[in-house]
């Protein structure tokens, strides 16, 4: 499915406006197919988190993994009813993954990380459908010792958006 998602993104380039419109119109089954790719690579988790306004991939991942999607901005938290089967908590606190549709400068994701830590959650890493490599979000998050995985990495060029060609070997591949 990553190839289908990548082709869908490629059809919108170099226009950022068309990219945002395409992502907004992407059917739930396509988000779920993309979530399945990430789901097989993730460790055992207790919850999925998403920054406000960026929950389509997060909802799909939560459905695929059968774990709750928490809205920390609205005061939601991990209760005993939302725990994994058996109601067991990890000794150091429940583990969550932060999922975003579009990773830019990482500020929204850092805000969610702060909210999660205040509620006793450990965040394993960040999953992104689209990553803007020039926005430095990956760098900000990796400095907080978070793993970052993205389905598609885009670079800003003078002609508009383009697929990122600079991919160090340390960046994990999803497909």
pTM for the full predicted model? 0.82
Minimum mean pLDDT among 24-33, 71-80, 160-169: which range? 71-80
Longest dimension (CA), the chain: 54
User: What would the pLDDT profile of 63-106 be if each residue is shown by its tens digit?
Assistant: 999 999 987 666 555 444 444 444 444 556 789 999 999 999 99
Q: Percent of the chain at pLDDT above 90?
A: 45
- Main-chain dihedrals φ then ψ at residue 170, nearest 5 degrees: -75, -10
Question: Would you list the domain boundaries of the chain?
Answer: 2-75+90-163
Q: Is the pLDDT of residue 154 over 60?
A: yes
**Beta carbons of 33 and 56 less than 8 angstroms apart:** no
Question: Was domain 2-75+90-163 assigned CATH 3.40.50.300?
Answer: no
User: What would the pLDDT profile of 128-140 be if each residue is shown by its tens digit?
Assistant: 999 998 889 999 9
User: What would the pLDDT profile of 35-70 be if each residue is shown by its tens digit?
Assistant: 999 999 899 999 999 888 778 899 999 999 999 998
- Report residue 145 as tokens: 């010792």
Which DSSP helix (H) or strand (E) runs through 38? Answer: helix 28-39
Report residue 117's pLDDT band, with 50, 70 and 90 as the boundaries. confident
């Amino acid at each position: 499915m990553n190839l289908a998602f990548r082709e869908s993104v490629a059809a919108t380039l170099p226009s950022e406006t068309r990219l945002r419109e395409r992502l907004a119109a992407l059917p739930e089954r396509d988000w779920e197919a993309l979530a399945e790719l990430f789901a097989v690579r993730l460790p055992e988790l207790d919850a999925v988190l998403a920054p406000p306004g960026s929950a389509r991939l997060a909802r799909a991942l939560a459905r695929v993994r059968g774990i709750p999607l928490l809205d920390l901005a609205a005061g939601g938290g991990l209760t005993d009813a939302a725990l994994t089967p058996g109601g067991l908590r990890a000794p150091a606190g429940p583990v969550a993954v932060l999922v975003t549709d579009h990773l830019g400068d990482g500020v929204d994701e850092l805000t969610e990380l702060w909210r999660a830590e205040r509620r006793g959650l450990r965040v394993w890493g960040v999953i992104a459908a689209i990553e803007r490599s020039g926005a430095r979000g990956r760098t900000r998050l990796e400095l907080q010792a978070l793993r970052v995985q993205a389905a598609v990495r885009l670079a800003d060029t003078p002609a508009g958006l383009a697929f990122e060609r600079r991919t160090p070997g340390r960046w994990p591949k999803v497909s």
